């Protein structure tokens, strides 16, 4: 056994991080356009105004994907490029760009996977309250239905929202991401409920208007938990740790179950209802029915995790990392075990096919004197993680595909261009692209369906 014969090997990006053309061809402002204009918000004043200029260079980028043997490409649509005001009039030039991108992918035999919301909230909707406004359930679902109707003859796989843990937690609690606010905790729970309702309404409307049967999922994230040993008690401790809500109210969004239980189980987790009870909005049975619309797969963005053991008190405890523990250029721990135990526990709880929708690392990549980019540390990282994912697949976890983050170096949110996650190096002065060593290595992984891992 190994990976499935129809396993999808992919790459992932998001609109604001690569497209550029932020104020061209009728695109409306989104919250990141505004955020990047604020002094001190983004590293060295960087912005996504030009980014990788993918808007003008997408054909070149698709050709590079084809050269790497990529089978699936997960990208997001910038809501404000299609609807400059979030609702109402369609921007035909923006829509044309996405049609041409999808056509180019299909011609290259690369399956398009559309993410409807990767944090590009139209600024005009933000001014109306954004995720605080109950009307966003209709705003988002109408936009989602439009995209489904427009593209479902060519695209079968759609993700509704990407990482609500981040765009609510980092956007409205810590304020390090757009729109850069620190709002009352109560407000974040209301926004989270609206996000889940918008997801459910989108699923419902998309299925109604699609030109053929489509497959819909969601792409949350979270720090995974893996056991300190194979002892049953440590495995149970890791399971408990992953599936408990976060007791830190100032960081509560960073958990799995508050976002996924309502979708797959039709209810919020009991420990969260107890712990957060003083901050919760009204949540009706009708709301929960809407949120729990059946979906076809579960996307999960996984980068790292915590080693967990069962404490003497019968509660999970985090094992301290040893001195000199390996970490990425961004300072994130290197924990390949999370790509076995994360999918294992998620599949066990939700019984849904899984796509790893993001996984990768930032490296200190430079162009060497031979004109190439030798990123052996990325290859080593991915080899370790993919071995664990392969092991999970062999142990019965229904894993349908893997999307590396990211296709190319890009605008890394509040870090600007300081971090490089791509398998393609981008010189932001010239927009020259160079496939890194990892890109050629990944081509071999794809060609052999991971057999050599």
Just list the catalytic residues.
Answer: 163, 358
Coil vs helix vs strand at 299: strand
In Å, how far are 213, 399, 435 from 420, measured between CA atoms?
A: 37, 27, 13
Could you give the angle at the alpha carbon of 438 between the alpha carbons of 103 and 10, nearest 5°? 35
Distance CA 335, CA 332 (A): 9
Query: Which of 117, 211, 198, 187 has the alpha carbon at shortest distance from 159?
Result: 117
Range list of β-strands (E), 118-269: 157-162, 215-219, 224-227
- Phi first, then psi: give them for residue 59, nearest 5 degrees: -65, -40
Distance CA 248, CA 272 (A): 11
CB-based burial of residue 189 (10 Å sphere; 0-12 exposed, 13-18 middle, 19+ buried)? buried
For residue 222, say if its preceding peptide bond is cis, omega within 30 degrees of 0. no
Distance CA 242, CA 22 (A): 38
Query: Which of 402, 353, 389 has the alpha carbon at shortest distance from 74?
Result: 402
Residue 378: CB atoms within 10 Å: 28
Distance CA 13, CA 10 (A): 10
**Please, which residues have CB within 8 angstroms of residue 325's CB and are 6 or more apart in sequence?**
333, 334
Terminal CA-CA length for the chain = 13
CB-based burial of residue 101 (10 Å sphere; 0-12 exposed, 13-18 middle, 19+ buried)? buried
Query: Which of 112, 137, 153 has the alpha carbon at shortest distance from 203?
Result: 137
Edge-first strand order for the sheet with 316-318 is: 224-227, 305-310, 316-318
Strand-pair category, 72-76 with 224-227: unpaired
């Amino acid at each position: 056994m190994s990976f499935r014969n129809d396993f999808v090997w992919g790459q992932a990006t998001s609109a604001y991080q690569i497209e550029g053309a932020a104020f061209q061809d009728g695109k409306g402002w989104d919250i990141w356009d505004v955020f990047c204009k604020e002094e001190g918000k983004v590293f060295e004043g960087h912005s996504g105004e030009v980014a990788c200029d993918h808007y003008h260079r997408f054909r070149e980028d698709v050709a590079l994907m084809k050269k790497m043997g990529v089978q699936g490409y997960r990208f997001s649509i910038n809501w404000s490029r299609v609807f400059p005001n979030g609702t109402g009039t369609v921007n035909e030039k923006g829509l044309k760009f996405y049609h041409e991108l999808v056509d180019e992918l299909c011609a290259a035999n690369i399956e398009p996977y559309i993410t409807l919301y990767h944090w590009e909230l139209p600024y005009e909707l933000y001014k109306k309250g954004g995720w605080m406004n109950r009307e966003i359930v209709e705003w988002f679902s109408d936009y989602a239905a439009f995209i489904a109707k427009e593209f479902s003859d060519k695209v079968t796989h759609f993700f509704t929202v990407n990482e609500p843990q981040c765009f609510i937690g980092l956007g409205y609690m810590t304020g390090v991401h757009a729109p850069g606010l620190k709002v009352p905790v109560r407000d974040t729970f209301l926004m989270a409920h609206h996000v889940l309702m918008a997801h459910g309404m989108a699923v419902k409307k998309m299925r109604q208007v699609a030109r053929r049967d489509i497959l819909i999922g969601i792409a949350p994230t979270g720090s995974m938990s893996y056991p300190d040993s194979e002892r049953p008690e440590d495995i149970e401790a890791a399971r408990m740790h992953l599936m408990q809500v976060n007791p830190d109210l100032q960081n509560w969004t960073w958990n799995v179950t508050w976002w996924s239980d309502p979708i797959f189980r039709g209810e919020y987790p009991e420990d969260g209802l107890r712990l957060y009870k003083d901050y919760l909005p009204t949540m009706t049975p009708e709301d929960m029915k809407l949120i729990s619309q059946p979906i076809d797969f579960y996307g999960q963005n996984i980068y790292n995790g915590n080693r967990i053991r069962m404490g003497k008190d019968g509660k999970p405890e985090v094992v301290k990392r040893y001195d000199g523990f390996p970490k990425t250029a961004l300072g994130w721990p290197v924990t390949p075990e999370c790509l076995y135990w994360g999918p294992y526990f998620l599949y066990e709880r939700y019984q849904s096919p899984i796509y790893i929708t993001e996984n990768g690392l930032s490296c200190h990549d430079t162009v060497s004197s031979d004109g190439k980019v030798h990123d052996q540390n990325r290859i080593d990282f991915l080899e370790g993680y993919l071995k664990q994912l392969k092991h999970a697949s062999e142990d019965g976890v229904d894993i349908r595909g893997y999307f590396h983050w990211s296709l190319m170096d890009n605008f890394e949110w509040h870090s600007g261009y300081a971090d490089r996650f791509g398998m393609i190096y981008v010189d932001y002065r010239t927009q020259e692209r160079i496939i890194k060593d990892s890109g050629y290595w990944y081509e071999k992984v794809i060609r052999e369906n991971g057999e050599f891992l």
